[in-house]
Amino acid sequence: MAKYIARRILMMIPVMLGVSFIVFAIMEFTPGDPAIMILGEGAKPEEYEALREKMGLNDPFVLRYLRYIGEALRGNFGNSYRTRIPVTKEIITRLPNTIQLAVVSTIIAVSLGLPVGVLSAAKQYSVADSTVLGATLLLTSMPGFWFAMMLILVFSVKLRLLPSLFSGAWRDFILPAIATSASTLASTARMTRSTMLEVIRQDYIRTARAKGAKEGRVVFGHALRNALLPVVTIIGTNFSNALGGAIVIEQVFAIPGLGQLMINSIRAKDVPMTTASVLFAALIASVMNLLVDIVYAYIDPRLKSRFGAPKAKKVSA
């Protein structure tokens, strides 16, 4: 297991380098001048040129990229062009809001999606199954921003129960978490139903029922565990997406998180902030993929050989 984790961590290095190069290149070749953004449009041409020279913006692209990577390896991602605040400090300041939103939305999605998916599979072709399929299809089809605005219209404007804008209180996360969890809940429920239907038709499930095992024991003790692998992938992917920045939801509810930071940085062509934000999101996705693979091994012991677990020795007669 330790060797497998070490290999996966080493594999993250070329991934992060590739992401950084692509983002740096995109920000380089998009229209806009960081010097104008920093000094404003009222400065003199020689002031713009002096700032470009000071910041190294006149150097070749490859040289500036290598300089950025060299500083990043030392933990220095530069200062934001917009705020002049160190990029790392700005990300750390906004990270707790995004973490809370991702954790709460994932808890909502998993706590509702798993049992709903199991119920739908256990009651296939029933009214409950049809209701679950219809509800999940609706949640999957709804655009996130539209669902978020409907929640604001109902619970903030009409009923006046929950705030529509973020102020830091725990109540401010309820509507954003529900909006963020909608698609994850739907995909979790549908994937759970699909995998459960495959598992409960297996021979060992029939054997367990033939031995007189209770239906609850068969469903939750035998079938659900073997049906969890694709579901864990869905949950891990959606959690990493939310942790990387629920961009639309943070914009709608004015949450000062990573998603909003990324959008504002791209609009302002804030190269250091944009590159660091995307790198952070890519790192989160890589780490979550690794964690999902590790969870696989604990859910299904047959997969432990994938991690280099020692094989059982043959005993000679």
Mean pLDDT of 120-133: 89
Angle at 144 between CA 138 and CA 146, to 5 degrees: 85
DSSP per position, 292-306: HHHHHHHH-GGGGGG
- pLDDT number for residue 315: 39
Confidence of residue 112 (pLDDT cuts 50, 70, 90): very high
d(CA 308, CA 233): 21
d(CA 51, CA 34): 9
Confidence of residue 153 (pLDDT cuts 50, 70, 90): very high
pTM: 0.78
Asked whether residue 137 carries a pLDDT value surpassing 80, the answer given is yes
Q: What is the pLDDT of residues 63-94, one digit of tens each?
A: 989 988 888 888 888 888 888 889 988 888 88
CATH among 3.40.50.1100, 1.10.3720.10, 1.20.210.10, 3.40.50.80 for 87-307: 1.10.3720.10
Confidence of residue 308 (pLDDT cuts 50, 70, 90): low
**Which of 21, 220, 25, 213 lies closest to 115 in space, CA to CA?**
220
Please, what is the average pLDDT of the chain? Answer: 83
The answer to which of 91-95, 137-141, 204-208 has the lowest mean pLDDT is 204-208
- pLDDT number for residue 240: 79
**Residue type at 299?**
I
Q: What are phi and psi of 79, to 5 degrees?
A: -105, 150
Residue 205 burial (10 A CB sphere; 0-12, 13-18, 19+): middle
d(CA 169, CA 72): 34
Give the residue with greater pLDDT, 44 vs 298: 44
- pLDDT number for residue 54: 83
Q: What is the pLDDT of residues 255-287, one digit of tens each?
A: 888 888 888 888 878 888 888 888 888 888 888
DSSP per position, 198-237: HHTTSHHHHHHHHTT--HHIIIIIIIHHHHHHHHHHHHHH
d(CA 185, CA 138): 11
- pLDDT number for residue 305: 56
Would you kindly state where each structural domain of the chain is located, as residue ranges?
A: 87-307
d(CA 190, CA 58): 53
By percentage, how much of the chain surpasses pLDDT 70?
Answer: 93
d(CA 209, CA 249): 45
Q: How far is CA 303 from CA 9, 149, 289, 295, 298, in A?
A: 19, 43, 15, 10, 8
d(CA 116, CA 122): 10
- pLDDT number for residue 245: 56
